[in-house]
């Protein structure tokens, strides 16, 4: 090896931690979604944060596609819903129980201040 060249061996033992802007909470909640505003489809969340959701859907959607999502959750004794517009940022197929589930990462692109406050309250309750 020449003295001017750097060795390009792989490095082992270095952990690359993913940095997220908002903490994520594992929670399975029902959702309804529609790409066009016409037909409601069912799905569920795998995790949630102030920035977005990981959804399990029955179809593979396009990256960059916008969806209208209605999220259902309980906050104490009452049932809340949040309606938001999200954008698909990544997707993949994940083997489910007897069928294929599409894991779909989405970010919030439009949410009302009232629904955002409901979301933050729900997340505060999850964090303890």
- In sequence order, what are the residues at sequence separation of 6 or more whose Cβ sits closer than 8 angstroms to the Cβ of residue 114? none
From residue 28, alpha-carbon distances to 12, 31, 53, 56 in Å are: 35, 10, 11, 10
pLDDT (tens digit per residue) in 17-76? 445 577 889 999 999 999 877 778 999 999 999 999 999 998 889 999 999 999 999 877
Percentage above 90 pLDDT, the chain = 54
Is it the case that residue 9 has pLDDT exceeding 60? no
Is it the case that residue 1 has pLDDT exceeding 60? no
Tell me what pLDDT residue 33 has. Answer: 95
User: Could you give the domains of the chain?
Assistant: 25-126 (2.40.10.220)
The answer to whether the CB of 48 falls within 8 A of the CB of 31 is: no
Element (H, E) at 113: helix 113-126
Confidence (pTM) = 0.77
């Amino acid at each position: 090896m020449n003295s001017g060249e750097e060795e390009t061996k792989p490095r082992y033992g270095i952990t690359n931690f993913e940095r997220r802007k908002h903490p994520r909470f594992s929670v399975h909640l029902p959702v309804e979604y529609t790409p066009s505003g016409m037909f409601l489809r069912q799905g569920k969340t795998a995790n949630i944060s102030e920035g977005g959701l990981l959804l399990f859907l029955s179809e593979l959607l396009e990256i960059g596609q916008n969806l209208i999502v209605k999220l259902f959750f309980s906050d104490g004794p009452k049932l809340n819903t949040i309606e938001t517009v999200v954008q698909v940022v990544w997707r993949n197929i994940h083997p489910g129980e007897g069928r294929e589930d599409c894991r779909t990462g989405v970010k919030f692109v439009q949410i009302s201040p009232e629904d955002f406050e409901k979301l933050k309250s729900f997340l505060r309750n999850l964090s303890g």
